[in-house]
Structure 1
Amino acid sequence: MNNKFLGTGVALVTPFKSDLSVDYDALKKIVEFNIKNGVEYLVISGTTAESVTITKQEKKAITEAIVEINNGRVPLVLGIGGSNTALVIEEIKNTDLSAIDAILSVSPYYTKPTQEGVYQHFKAISAVCPIDIILYNVPGRTSKNIEPDTIIRLANEFENIVGVKEAGNSTYQYLQLLKNKPEDFLVISGDDDLALGVTLAGGSGVISVIGQAFPKEFSKMIRLGLKGDAKQAYKFHYRLMDGIDYIFEENNPAGIKAVFEALNLCSSAVRLPLVTASEALKSKISDFIKAF
């Protein structure tokens, strides 16, 4: 079992200034806040980081900044994925991965490949990637589910494919994966609302959105889940439940950035086509944080 990715990973936001340039001071605050409050690893350039509206140059600069701030304290996972297999391979080959512990590679979106196409895509990536790979299945965004059989096939055939961030919001699919996976393969929840249940069922933890705003409580909850202490873990889950609903009510990451704004960690600014959380949602989030 790859213990580096057991527990809570957080899918970091990319904080912006009012002119929508990257706010590196706020990024440092968020990274420090998470490391000091006990998260097990950090995920750079995932969906929550607005990776689709970040330029190549910004992605490189953000990655370098996080590597420097982290200074080897926790493992780092970098999002490298897409719908053009050749371009994904090119990016892997041209990225300095010396300080990165794994890539998180999203299933091809928009093109809607068959299961065999998805398998061949990740087979090609596996052949060139010098570090571990965590598959990312998020059918709500890609419009195509990676079926459990395909994930298990990849897990069995390629040594550097070490886990899956499963975000299909399907308890049944999670249980199929947990039942049939190789022993050391990681099933990581990508659904904050299901993360504790998945962990208690034998999952390896979570790559979380809300976890970066409440890192102490969320990572404690997951650690209790890994120990099988459901009673204590659910006390944290019930405290966090409404907050999880709120951050996904309009869009991600507008919701989590509204939380960070209320916590004075960064502004709520997002890049188009996303828009900031509505005043009504910000008010709910503010009330939740005061009560929390």
Structure 2
Amino acid sequence: MQAITGTGVALITPFKNDFSVDTDALTRIVNFQIDNGIDYLVVLGTTAESATLSKEEKELVIATIIEANTGRLPLVLGVGGNNTHEVAHELKTRDLSAFKAVLSVSPYYNKPTQEGIYQHFKVVAEASPLPVILYNVPGRTGSNMLPATVVRLANDFENIVAIKEAAGDIVQAMKLIQHTPKDFLVISGDDMITLPMVLAGGAGVISVIGEGFPKQFSDMVRLGLENKVDEAYELHYLLADAIDMIFEQGNPAGIKSVFKALGLCEDVVRLPLVKVNQDLANRLDVFVKRLQ
């Protein structure tokens, strides 16, 4: 799965001031990623505020990204949820021809047992015509997909090919790298520990900060994959303060503030999210200007 090695970014959904989807801004953002070295694009992940998009708006976002990308980068589509059979139905009925893989989050809110998580992804794997990237993000789902469960899934289903691991636990990530099959990809879902994960044997990242600073972050990951440790860490520490800042008042409010500073879109988010406060917006603006 070379297509999902390196730096992927979880694209935002830009909104106009009237809260409608800004397709012109989304096109600019896609081109910004491609022009600055990003390896693949993730469509309709959590960062896209997909929970607040209507069915029609999701179709608009997908169509806009496909058209803007024009086949230049591999695309991954977020298809997940806490209703297993609804997820399976979408995988069986949606046209996935433009995508290389699907990213499927561990069921949220229900708080299933490890066996429940396994059975959920068994159904997902059997329904999906594409390779599946598991997504473990306990801070959002309320449950942690343990390494033993991931190893079991990786061994039992050939089309479960990777995990986006966002528990923020480097020891857990190392256990995944150690015990999953050699061709299984462990992808960081936590920007701050991306480089340590890559250096430990990880396959890269699906990033939020990477879409705001695509050149620097993708260069860091590339250097890490080449085991150029000192050069990679220079870029890590260059971006570390920004990583803290973009998550300080929630995602994607922080990264949208970065995009506003870059002149790519407005910083509008939909309730229950709100914009970052003026103090944080000013600090992010200063950081952006320093890197330009």
User: TM-score if structure 1 supplies the norm length?
Assistant: 0.99
Percent of aligned pairs sharing the same letter: 57
Query: How far 1:65 moved relative to its partner?
Result: 1.3
Match of residue 28 from structure 1: 27
Match of residue 208 from structure 1: 207
Match of residue 262 from structure 1: 261
Which residue identity does 2:189 align to in structure 1?
G
Deviations 1:128-157 (A, max 9, x none): 100010000000000100000000110111
Match of residue 99 from structure 1: 98
Does residue 39 (structure 1) correspond to residue 42 (structure 2)? The answer is no
Query: How far 1:236 moved relative to its partner?
Result: 0.6
Determine helix, strand or coil for the equivalent of 2:191. Answer: coil
Which residue identity does 2:256 align to in structure 1?
K
Match of residue 237 from structure 2: 238
Residues 210-225 of structure 1: matches in 2 within 5 Å?
Answer: 210-225=209-224
Match of residue 150 from structure 2: 151
Query: How far 1:180 moved relative to its partner?
Result: 0.6
Which residue identity does 1:35 align to in structure 2?
I
Moved segments of 4+, more than 6 Å: none
Which residue identity does 1:240 align to in structure 2?
L
Match of residue 123 from structure 1: 122
Match of residue 61 from structure 1: 60
Which residue identity does 1:39 align to in structure 2?
I
Determine helix, strand or coil for the equivalent of 2:119. Answer: helix
Deviations 1:86-145 (A, max 9, x none): 110111122110011111000000001100000000000111100010000000000100
Deviations 1:177-229 (A, max 9, x none): 01111000000000000001100110000000010111111101100000111
Which residue identity does 1:199 align to in structure 2?
V
Deviations 1:23-62 (A, max 9, x none): 0000000000001111000000001000100111111111
Determine helix, strand or coil for the equivalent of 1:78. Answer: strand
Which residue identity does 1:223 align to in structure 2?
R
Query: How far 1:72 moved relative to its partner?
Result: 1.1
Determine helix, strand or coil for the equivalent of 1:77. Answer: strand
1:284 and 1:94 map into 2 onto residues whose CA distance is: 45
RMSD across aligned C-alpha pairs, in angstroms? 0.6
Match of residue 6 from structure 1: 5
Aligned length: 291
1:94 and 1:18 map into 2 onto residues whose CA distance is: 34
Determine helix, strand or coil for the equivalent of 1:193. Answer: helix
1:286 and 1:213 map into 2 onto residues whose CA distance is: 12
Match of residue 160 from structure 2: 161
1:47 and 1:136 map into 2 onto residues whose CA distance is: 11
Which residue identity does 2:5 align to in structure 1?
L
Query: How far 1:258 moved relative to its partner?
Result: 0.3
Query: How far 1:261 moved relative to its partner?
Result: 0.4
> Which structure 1 residue ranges, 5 or more long, are not aligned?
none
Residues 160-179 of structure 1: matches in 2 within 5 Å?
Answer: 160-179=159-178
2:121 and 2:112 map into 1 onto residues whose CA distance is: 12
1:114 and 1:163 map into 2 onto residues whose CA distance is: 21
Match of residue 134 from structure 2: 135
Determine helix, strand or coil for the equivalent of 2:206. Answer: strand
1:4 and 1:287 map into 2 onto residues whose CA distance is: 34
Query: How far 1:5 moved relative to its partner?
Result: 0.8
1:290 and 1:263 map into 2 onto residues whose CA distance is: 8
1:121 and 1:57 map into 2 onto residues whose CA distance is: 26
Determine helix, strand or coil for the equivalent of 1:194. Answer: helix
Which residue identity does 1:135 align to in structure 2?
L
Query: How far 1:291 moved relative to its partner?
Result: 2.0
Query: How far 1:64 moved relative to its partner?
Result: 1.3
2:93 and 2:244 map into 1 onto residues whose CA distance is: 38
1:217 and 1:287 map into 2 onto residues whose CA distance is: 17
